[in-house]
Chain A
Amino acid sequence: MKFKCLKMTNFMRYAGENELFFSCDADHNVTVVLGNNTSGKTTIAQAFRWGLYGEVINTQYDKSQAVNLLNNEVLETMDANSRKAVEVRIEVEDEQYTYEFTRIAEFVRKFPKFESKQTSEKLYMRVGTNGEWSDYISDSGNVNGRETGKVTDQINKLFPKELSGYFLFDGERWADEKTSRKDVKESINTIMGISALSSMKFHLKEYGAAGSNSVLRYLKKKSVGSGVETDRLEKDQTHYAAQITECEKKIEAAKEAVDTYSEYVRKGEEILNGNQRVEQEQKQAVQLEKNIKVTGERIERGTADFVRYYSREAYKILLSPLYENVKAVLAGVDLVDKGIPNVNDKTIHFLIEKGECLCGTKLHEGSVEINHLIKLLDIVPPKVIGNEIAFFQEKFEDWTREGKEAKDYLTEMANSYEADKAELEDLEDELYHINKRIDGKINYGQERIRVESYKRKLEESRETIRKCENNIEDYKRKIEHVDEELAELAKKNEKTLKYRRALAYAEALTKRTEALLKWKEEPLFNELNAKIRNNFEEMFSEKDKYAELGEDYKLHLFYKTISAEGGTVTYEEPVLSEGEKIACNFVFIVSILELAQEKKKADESDMVVSLPLVLDAPFSKLSGENIGLIASVLPKAADQVVIFMLDKDWEVSGLEQHTDIAYKYRVYKESESASSRIIREG
């Protein structure tokens, strides 16, 4: 099957009509569309997808969602009453027929907003034979509403939707590993033309939860007839089948969770393992900050204590040197008490007031006698000062002693303060250097907590899978047991004889189908693997790596190394770089297509699907060397290659030799315009 042309009208980036023709030549089977990033190449790939399946994918390529199909320049010209159409027409051909598929969607504008709203969508087909076209066939069916979906069915026959991820190759999206084992296996079977057998087996035995809607299940039910006991057993079986479906859903969700959390754990451990030293230093930094705070507080308290003690005691240190001088002054004075025993100031005042001394001498005011008595007041208590002086000297001795103690204690306090300050400086210095080394962007302590949390969730998901798998086995055994009971009941029921016969026939047919399928699948699997290994080596020129399809129908990458004993050891690389993922997926699709081509040529089956390869930026994540190697395989592997790429990739690809200049296009987007245009370079 090959594409002949693609015509877009008002589709996304392309205002008005834009058309591309594709080379159907066997030797020059490559059509190339070149352009810079965001020029509009991917929009053309989107046109294929929308034209065939009515879907486009958002720019993140994570999910399908509604995007603006109507070109913005066209939208701008619309008012509230306008209607404009978006159309994609795809023409394809095989050896016998030419098919033209046209999808049209009509839009109005949510005037005055700059938004469009789709009001209808139609899909048509016409078939050409020997240059003559049939009438148009609508996917909505004929006037009687019959034969709906005929166009969609035909599209799926020629371009199976489950294979669109392979032949409509998106270089950005193929790092995505969401495709299930079942899908991959079925896709391979479809391409290889044995999907009819697997489909037959499916309908005979596996359709519905645990085959609840399969032919065998239907005939088994019918062969047992009806009755209270039968009804009860059938109800049990239905319940067990429903439980199996539930468990399968849980397993599917849990497997996705396992993939997600495994990746998170891997990335987290990569960060942590590569930065154990940094994590250690971060912990050290946290501890240092605590120590700095504690030491700082201790220094602050120490300073306050020092000032308090100094204020209270240090004056004694300054005062004590004066003591020698004080002693000298006091030593020069006669401090002996010259007072009269038992005579105090009251005695003398009494005598003065009486006006007569003890000896009888009269005391007149201003007389010598009175003055002498007045002088005596100084040497009798309370004016005697000897005790006071003695007390003062004792005080001074205390200050001198206490001053020495205070000096020692203050020195000790000051030294301790100094030591704390030095310690603080050392801590701050150490913290400064650690902080300089640490990458402050990632808190490794937090990262570790996060990784541990992901590990727990990963384990929980795995546990869910184990439990559900066990439960499924359990329910299957129960279903088998019920089957046995029903079979026993059936033997007693004459009315169901014809169904039992039909059942026997269906069981025999199922067995034969399974055997035939196994006979075809096994060698196919091995041949495909051989091709994958060969292509990987050829496309990537790798001697120390190889790719292999596993039992899980996923491609695994293996490395070869030399062991300590000198022999070759292989190990699987569980973590692939983006480039390696792209490489593996490339090898996979190319190998399948190549094998399909070989089967077709060998006339082994006319059910082998032949598909063109439409590649959007397939080399965006690969090196120049790999581009050349891969590109050399593409024209041989597929009947037709349509490829969108950058100029720089084109130059190294070597595809020029497989491309007729008439089938070389360039996409332009002018800066002042919202639309792109396609120019044929040939």
Chain B
Amino acid sequence: MAEANYSYFRTDVVLTGKHARYCDALWEQNQIKNSYFTRLVDLYVFAAIVGFRARKRCKQDSNDDDKRTIQAAQIINTMILPELMKTFILLGNDGSDETRVNRAFRGPSSDEEFKDDVEMFNSYVRGGIEILYDELVLRELDLNDKYTDKKIGNLMALLDNHFIPDDFEG
């Protein structure tokens, strides 16, 4: 019996439209003083986690005048990504715990499942990018913020999880 062999995170990731523009606001190549993250793949990781924690999924912006590509080489070398996929599947809503555990650790058993998983992940990434844009770029500091610098203040505030809706139990 032939076994299917599916490997996540082996190709470029392309962000389009507003998600590409939000990326540009959050990260500028070789300009760390104008960026919130060192590399674009770091943003990708953060966006995935933030999007998942806020349970925010977004479709791809069909307007592809703006594009931002995360290179496969960076994706492949980021070891946390497969673990994040497992986490998202484990904590998803499809099927029983056993089903999700098997799916998470044994991988998809069909092309369809594989594509669904990839789209699920990337939809959380897009949702996360929108949240990061709101929380890091648009958000202005207020009196409750401990820090006076906007970048530092917003990055630290992000860690306080206030972007997660109050009624969400994770």
Q: A: which residues have CB within 8 A of B?
A: 300, 303-304, 306-308, 310-312, 314-315, 317-319, 321-322, 325-326, 329-330, 332-335, 352, 374, 378, 383, 385, 388-389, 392, 395, 407, 410-411, 414, 417-418, 421-422
Q: Looking at B32, B86, B170, which has the most chain A CB atoms within 10 Å of its CB? A: B32
Could you pull out 28 A-B pairs where Cβ atoms are within 8 angstroms?
A: A300-B33, A303-B32, A303-B33, A308-B32, A308-B38, A311-B37, A311-B38, A311-B39, A312-B38, A315-B45, A317-B159, A318-B53, A318-B161, A319-B84, A321-B53, A321-B161, A321-B170, A322-B52, A322-B170, A329-B97, A385-B105, A389-B105, A392-B86, A395-B83, A407-B159, A410-B159, A418-B146, A421-B149
CA A407 – CA B158 in complex, angstroms?
Answer: 11
CA A36 – CA B13 in complex, angstroms?
Answer: 89
Q: B: which residues have CB within 8 A of A?
A: 1, 32-33, 35-39, 42, 45-46, 49-50, 52-53, 80, 83-84, 86-87, 90-91, 97-98, 100-102, 105-106, 146-149, 151-152, 155-156, 158-159, 161, 170
The minimal Cβ–Cβ distance linking B105 to chain A, given in whole angstroms, is 4
The minimal Cβ–Cβ distance linking A553 to chain B, given in whole angstroms, is 74
CA A304 – CA B91 in complex, angstroms?
Answer: 34
Known contacts A315-B45, A329-B100, A332-B97; decide if A410 and B156 are in contact (CB<8 Å).
yes
CA A149 – CA B104 in complex, angstroms?
Answer: 127
Chain B residue numbers with a CB within 8 Å of A392 are 83, 86, 105
CA A217 – CA B134 in complex, angstroms?
Answer: 108
Q: Looking at A308, A314, A332, A385, which has the most chain B CB atoms within 10 Å of its CB? A: A314
The minimal Cβ–Cβ distance linking B100 to chain A, given in whole angstroms, is 7
Interface contact A418-B152, CB-CB below 8 Å: yes
CA A388 – CA B83 in complex, angstroms?
Answer: 11
Interface contact B80-A418, CB-CB below 8 Å: no
Interface contact B147-A418, CB-CB below 8 Å: yes
Chain A residue numbers with a CB within 8 Å of B100 are 329
The minimal Cβ–Cβ distance linking B108 to chain A, given in whole angstroms, is 14
Interface contact A418-B149, CB-CB below 8 Å: yes
Interface contact B105-A307, CB-CB below 8 Å: no
CA A318 – CA B135 in complex, angstroms?
Answer: 14
11 other A-B residue contacts (CB within 8 Å) besides A303-B151, A335-B101: A304-B32, A307-B38, A307-B155, A310-B155, A311-B42, A318-B49, A318-B158, A322-B87, A332-B97, A383-B106, A414-B152
Closest 7 CB pairs of A and B: A311-B42, A311-B38, A332-B97, A385-B105, A311-B37, A333-B101, A318-B49
B interface, by DSSP: helix, strand, loop or mixed?
Answer: helix
Interface contact B101-A330, CB-CB below 8 Å: yes
Chain A residue numbers with a CB within 8 Å of B33 are 300, 303-304
Interface contact B106-A385, CB-CB below 8 Å: yes
CA A318 – CA B46 in complex, angstroms?
Answer: 8
Chain B residue numbers with a CB within 8 Å of A312 are 38, 42
Interface contact A307-B32, CB-CB below 8 Å: yes
Chain B residue numbers with a CB within 8 Å of A319 are 49, 84, 87
Q: Write the chain B residue with the least CB distance to A326.
A: B90
Chain B residue numbers with a CB within 8 Å of A335 are 101
Interface contact B1-A374, CB-CB below 8 Å: yes
Q: Write the chain A residue with the least CB distance to B170.
A: A325
Chain A residue numbers with a CB within 8 Å of B39 are 311
Interface contact A389-B101, CB-CB below 8 Å: yes
Chain B residue numbers with a CB within 8 Å of A310 are 36-37, 155
Chain B residue numbers with a CB within 8 Å of A308 are 32, 38
Known contacts A307-B35, A315-B46; decide if A322 and B91 are in contact (CB<8 Å).
yes
CA A333 – CA B83 in complex, angstroms?
Answer: 19
